[in-house]
Amino acid sequence: MIGLEELYGALDCTGYPVANIAFEGKVSVPFIVIMPEGSENFMADNKVYKKFEDVEIELYTDKRDLEAESSVEKILDEFSIPYQSTAFFIAEEHLLKTTYSITIKGDK
């Protein structure tokens, strides 16, 4: 299982701009945003033994882009990361947001 830094590096290899939470300036589509969603830690004896982080990988495109989707899915498959995906059209932005919900290793 990979952590956040490894995930960021792997997604950067797609050639698309990647940001952790948000970009500082405007970027062209397609682009990827990694959003933290919470944790699913393994606990016992009143302490956390293993940290796991729920993350959403958001792929933004101006239309359905099977090549961009395939690039993200290929990386998830290479690292054996199970995922669920959903797509939502943001009308006011004229963007399609494809979200991949995953769980990765926490930071310790």
Contacts 24+ apart (CB under 8 A), 12-17: 13/75, 14/68, 14/71, 14/72, 14/75, 15/71, 16/59, 16/68, 16/71
**How much is the pLDDT for 40?**
83
Please determine, for residue 108, whether its predicted confidence score (pLDDT) is greater than 80.
no
What domains lie within the chain, and their CATH numbers?
Answer: 4-105 (3.30.2000.30)
Q: Which of 35, 11, 4 is nearest to 99 (CA)?
A: 35
Q: What phi-psi label fits residue 15: left (phi over 0), alpha (psi between -120 and 50 degrees) or beta?
A: left
Per-residue pLDDT tens digits for 9-46: 999 999 999 999 999 999 999 999 999 998 888 888 99
Find all residues with CB under 8 Å of 36, minimum gap 6, and list them.
21, 53, 54, 55
DSSP class of residue 104 equals: E
Per-residue pLDDT tens digits for 90-105: 999 999 999 999 999 8
Distance, in Å, from the CA atom of 54 to the CA atom of 39, rounded to the nearest integer, reads 5
Mean pLDDT of 47-54: 91
Written as one letter, the residue type at 57 is I
DSSP class of residue 68 equals: H
Confidence of residue 1 (pLDDT cuts 50, 70, 90): confident
